[in-house]
Amino acid sequence: MDLPDVHARAVANTQAVIDAMTVEQMHNATPCADWDVTELLNHVVYGNLWVAPLVGGETIEQVGDRFEGDILGGDFSEAFRLSGRLAVAAFKVPGAMDAPCAVSYGPVPGSIYCGHRFTDVLVHGWDLGAATGGDTELPAELVEACLEITLPQAAILGVTGAFGEGVDLGDEVSPQTRLLALLGRRG
Protein backbone atom coordinates (compact mmCIF):
# COMPACT_ATOMS: atom_id res chain seq x y z
CA MET A 1 0.00 0.00 0.00
CA ASP A 2 1.23 3.48 -0.86
CA LEU A 3 0.56 5.19 2.47
CA PRO A 4 1.27 8.76 1.33
CA ASP A 5 -1.14 8.23 -1.56
CA VAL A 6 -4.03 6.84 0.50
CA HIS A 7 -3.46 9.57 3.09
CA ALA A 8 -3.61 12.24 0.35
CA ARG A 9 -6.80 10.70 -1.03
CA ALA A 10 -8.37 10.65 2.45
CA VAL A 11 -7.50 14.33 2.86
CA ALA A 12 -9.18 15.09 -0.50
CA ASN A 13 -12.25 13.05 0.45
CA THR A 14 -12.60 14.83 3.79
CA GLN A 15 -12.03 18.19 2.12
CA ALA A 16 -15.06 17.53 -0.11
CA VAL A 17 -17.19 16.87 2.99
CA ILE A 18 -15.91 20.04 4.68
CA ASP A 19 -16.48 22.14 1.55
CA ALA A 20 -20.19 21.19 1.71
CA MET A 21 -20.55 22.25 5.37
CA THR A 22 -22.07 25.55 6.47
CA VAL A 23 -21.28 27.86 9.36
CA GLU A 24 -24.70 27.03 10.81
CA GLN A 25 -23.62 23.38 11.24
CA MET A 26 -20.50 24.11 13.27
CA HIS A 27 -22.17 23.35 16.61
CA ASN A 28 -23.92 20.15 15.47
CA ALA A 29 -23.26 17.07 17.57
CA THR A 30 -20.90 14.49 16.04
CA PRO A 31 -20.44 10.74 16.53
CA CYS A 32 -17.48 11.75 18.74
CA ALA A 33 -19.41 12.26 21.99
CA ASP A 34 -17.13 14.95 23.42
CA TRP A 35 -16.90 17.12 20.29
CA ASP A 36 -19.23 19.20 18.19
CA VAL A 37 -18.37 19.89 14.53
CA THR A 38 -16.09 22.82 15.38
CA GLU A 39 -14.17 20.85 18.00
CA LEU A 40 -13.82 17.80 15.76
CA LEU A 41 -12.65 19.87 12.82
CA ASN A 42 -10.18 21.66 15.09
CA HIS A 43 -8.85 18.25 16.19
CA VAL A 44 -8.27 17.12 12.60
CA VAL A 45 -6.66 20.41 11.50
CA TYR A 46 -4.49 20.33 14.64
CA GLY A 47 -3.37 16.79 13.80
CA ASN A 48 -2.55 17.83 10.24
CA LEU A 49 -0.45 20.75 11.44
CA TRP A 50 1.73 18.49 13.58
CA VAL A 51 2.76 16.25 10.68
CA ALA A 52 5.45 18.39 9.03
CA PRO A 53 7.34 19.20 12.24
CA LEU A 54 7.23 15.62 13.55
CA VAL A 55 8.18 14.04 10.22
CA GLY A 56 10.90 16.67 9.99
CA GLY A 57 12.44 15.43 13.24
CA GLU A 58 11.09 17.90 15.79
CA THR A 59 9.95 16.67 19.18
CA ILE A 60 6.68 17.47 20.91
CA GLU A 61 8.61 19.78 23.21
CA GLN A 62 10.13 21.63 20.27
CA VAL A 63 6.74 22.13 18.65
CA GLY A 64 5.38 23.29 22.00
CA ASP A 65 2.25 25.40 21.81
CA ARG A 66 2.80 26.48 18.20
CA PHE A 67 -0.63 25.21 17.15
CA GLU A 68 -2.65 26.26 20.18
CA GLY A 69 -5.47 28.77 19.91
CA ASP A 70 -7.85 29.47 17.04
CA ILE A 71 -6.43 27.42 14.20
CA LEU A 72 -9.64 27.39 12.15
CA GLY A 73 -9.75 31.17 11.76
CA GLY A 74 -12.58 32.67 9.78
CA ASP A 75 -12.62 30.00 7.06
CA PHE A 76 -12.79 26.43 8.38
CA SER A 77 -12.64 24.92 4.89
CA GLU A 78 -9.48 26.82 4.00
CA ALA A 79 -7.93 25.94 7.38
CA PHE A 80 -8.39 22.24 6.60
CA ARG A 81 -7.19 22.70 3.01
CA LEU A 82 -3.95 24.39 4.06
CA SER A 83 -3.24 21.98 6.93
CA GLY A 84 -4.03 19.02 4.67
CA ARG A 85 -1.61 20.25 2.00
CA LEU A 86 1.15 20.58 4.59
CA ALA A 87 0.54 17.06 5.92
CA VAL A 88 0.33 15.50 2.46
CA ALA A 89 3.55 17.23 1.36
CA ALA A 90 5.40 16.14 4.51
CA PHE A 91 4.49 12.48 4.08
CA LYS A 92 5.59 12.57 0.41
CA VAL A 93 9.12 13.79 1.19
CA PRO A 94 11.65 11.06 0.29
CA GLY A 95 12.50 9.11 3.44
CA ALA A 96 9.43 10.29 5.36
CA MET A 97 8.05 6.77 5.78
CA ASP A 98 11.25 5.70 7.53
CA ALA A 99 11.78 8.89 9.53
CA PRO A 100 11.41 8.49 13.31
CA CYS A 101 8.43 10.57 14.47
CA ALA A 102 8.25 11.57 18.14
CA VAL A 103 4.46 11.30 18.50
CA SER A 104 2.62 11.30 21.83
CA TYR A 105 2.49 7.48 21.94
CA GLY A 106 6.23 7.08 21.46
CA PRO A 107 8.68 7.33 18.60
CA VAL A 108 7.37 5.48 15.55
CA PRO A 109 8.43 5.25 11.91
CA GLY A 110 6.76 7.71 9.56
CA SER A 111 4.84 4.84 7.97
CA ILE A 112 3.05 4.09 11.26
CA TYR A 113 2.33 7.77 11.83
CA CYS A 114 1.06 8.17 8.25
CA GLY A 115 -1.24 5.18 8.69
CA HIS A 116 -2.66 6.67 11.86
CA ARG A 117 -3.16 10.09 10.26
CA PHE A 118 -4.81 8.41 7.27
CA THR A 119 -7.24 6.62 9.60
CA ASP A 120 -7.91 9.78 11.61
CA VAL A 121 -8.61 11.96 8.56
CA LEU A 122 -10.73 9.35 6.76
CA VAL A 123 -12.92 8.34 9.70
CA HIS A 124 -13.33 11.86 11.05
CA GLY A 125 -14.38 12.88 7.54
CA TRP A 126 -17.17 10.33 7.89
CA ASP A 127 -17.98 11.77 11.33
CA LEU A 128 -18.25 15.26 9.86
CA GLY A 129 -20.49 14.01 7.05
CA ALA A 130 -22.72 12.19 9.53
CA ALA A 131 -22.95 15.29 11.74
CA THR A 132 -23.86 17.65 8.92
CA GLY A 133 -26.00 15.50 6.64
CA GLY A 134 -23.13 15.33 4.18
CA ASP A 135 -21.60 12.48 2.22
CA THR A 136 -20.95 9.43 4.40
CA GLU A 137 -20.04 6.99 1.64
CA LEU A 138 -16.30 6.46 1.88
CA PRO A 139 -14.36 5.37 -1.23
CA ALA A 140 -14.17 1.57 -1.20
CA GLU A 141 -10.41 1.43 -1.87
CA LEU A 142 -9.74 3.77 1.07
CA VAL A 143 -11.97 1.68 3.34
CA GLU A 144 -10.04 -1.46 2.36
CA ALA A 145 -6.69 0.25 2.97
CA CYS A 146 -7.91 1.54 6.33
CA LEU A 147 -9.12 -1.93 7.33
CA GLU A 148 -5.68 -3.30 6.48
CA ILE A 149 -4.20 -0.83 8.97
CA THR A 150 -6.95 -1.02 11.58
CA LEU A 151 -7.64 -4.75 11.92
CA PRO A 152 -4.25 -5.65 13.45
CA GLN A 153 -4.56 -2.73 15.88
CA ALA A 154 -8.28 -2.91 16.70
CA ALA A 155 -7.86 -4.06 20.31
CA ILE A 156 -5.33 -1.31 21.02
CA LEU A 157 -7.35 1.43 19.33
CA GLY A 158 -10.42 0.65 21.42
CA VAL A 159 -8.66 1.33 24.71
CA THR A 160 -6.52 4.32 23.72
CA GLY A 161 -9.43 6.74 23.59
CA ALA A 162 -8.41 7.75 20.07
CA PHE A 163 -11.68 6.32 18.79
CA GLY A 164 -14.80 4.92 20.41
CA GLU A 165 -14.86 1.39 21.76
CA GLY A 166 -15.12 -0.85 18.74
CA VAL A 167 -16.49 -4.22 17.83
CA ASP A 168 -15.52 -6.44 14.89
CA LEU A 169 -18.68 -7.34 12.97
CA GLY A 170 -16.71 -9.65 10.66
CA ASP A 171 -17.05 -10.20 6.94
CA GLU A 172 -20.86 -10.46 6.94
CA VAL A 173 -21.28 -6.67 6.78
CA SER A 174 -19.95 -4.18 4.25
CA PRO A 175 -16.29 -3.22 4.63
CA GLN A 176 -17.31 0.34 5.52
CA THR A 177 -19.71 -0.84 8.24
CA ARG A 178 -17.00 -3.13 9.60
CA LEU A 179 -14.41 -0.33 9.66
CA LEU A 180 -16.76 2.10 11.36
CA ALA A 181 -17.77 -0.49 13.96
CA LEU A 182 -14.11 -1.31 14.66
CA LEU A 183 -13.61 2.36 15.45
CA GLY A 184 -16.69 2.73 17.63
CA ARG A 185 -19.11 4.09 15.06
CA ARG A 186 -22.51 2.76 14.11
CA GLY A 187 -23.48 3.52 10.55
Q: What is the pLDDT of residues 76-117, one digit of tens each?
A: 999 999 999 999 999 999 999 999 999 988 899 999 999 999
What is the architecture of the domain spanning 3-138?
A: Up-down Bundle (1.20)
| pLDDT band of 167, cuts 50, 70, 90 | confident
Quote the CA–CA distance of 162 and 158 in Å, as a whole number.
8
φ, ψ for residue 80, nearest 5 deg: -65, -45
Quote the CA–CA distance of 119 and 12 in Å, as a whole number.
13
Question: Cα–Cα distances in Å, from 149 out to 55, 103, 111, 115?
Answer: 19, 18, 11, 7
Residues 6+ away with beta carbon under 8 Å from 136: 126, 129, 130, 187
Q: What is the mean pLDDT of residues 148-159?
A: 74
| pLDDT band of 161, cuts 50, 70, 90 | low
Across-strand partners of 103?
106
**pLDDT number for residue 4:** 98
Question: Cα–Cα distances in Å, from 46 out to 21, 58, 66, 84, 152?
Answer: 19, 16, 10, 10, 26
> In the chain, where are the structural domains located?
3-138
